[in-house]
Structure 1
């Protein structure tokens, strides 16, 4: 075989290996110290948010995450899709039809590096009797407000 054929075959093998490594689904196991709070009250509740799921990388479409996300005693099964800002956004539904807007009871946003999480759910609102959200990682209201600006409002 001549040199060009060998180099071409090596390139194809290397490219295929890179695609395989990039596209292989990756397990996600994350746990964060979180704060549950509201803009309307001074109540701050320390909590934990945990994520267990799979990250699917895609070449053409946006990446996605299928996960179970827990906050307080509530666990949600969600599909989060990557947005134009590369963050992941998903909706909490009362049944398994993730795309049905009639049954939405909350939303979840996760930063592109999976280091920050924001959850707004009717369960939290009902439990604490106001409009509440959980944000992580945060141990104080000041940290939570800074994360909220960066993750949700992009300021």
Structure 2
């Protein structure tokens, strides 16, 4: 059975390609999903890819991940990165490896974006590489899952 990675995307990521392309690029979330799936398959991993603008839905998906037998999570929480204690609590309680991803380098942006609640639950963070950051996260989790 192929190990599954749950990829969660937070608010406004459904607007990629149209929203602030000077910051987030021209790739759509569908483009990133297709590239992530293809890369994961090369690594022998499966991917479940989701996006929500709702904090509660993201928390529910994290809680469900253990029951669905996900092996790990990739999380781009969008703005919830900087605000959601609820998402942090869910990630801490899921007992799965988490890699945090950001399309832009959050440390080169506004001061309020420098703090991440997600980081407390993550084994690592990948920021500033656009959609390629998801493939990097898959590689990191493939390495972790083999250990």
Identify whether the pair has TM-score above 0.5, normalized to the shorter chain.
no
Q: Indicate the structure with greater helix content.
A: 2
Q: Given the two structures, how large is their TM-score scaled by the length of structure 1? A: 0.26
Q: Normalising to structure 2: TM-score of the pair?
A: 0.27
Structure whose residues are more often strand by fraction: 1
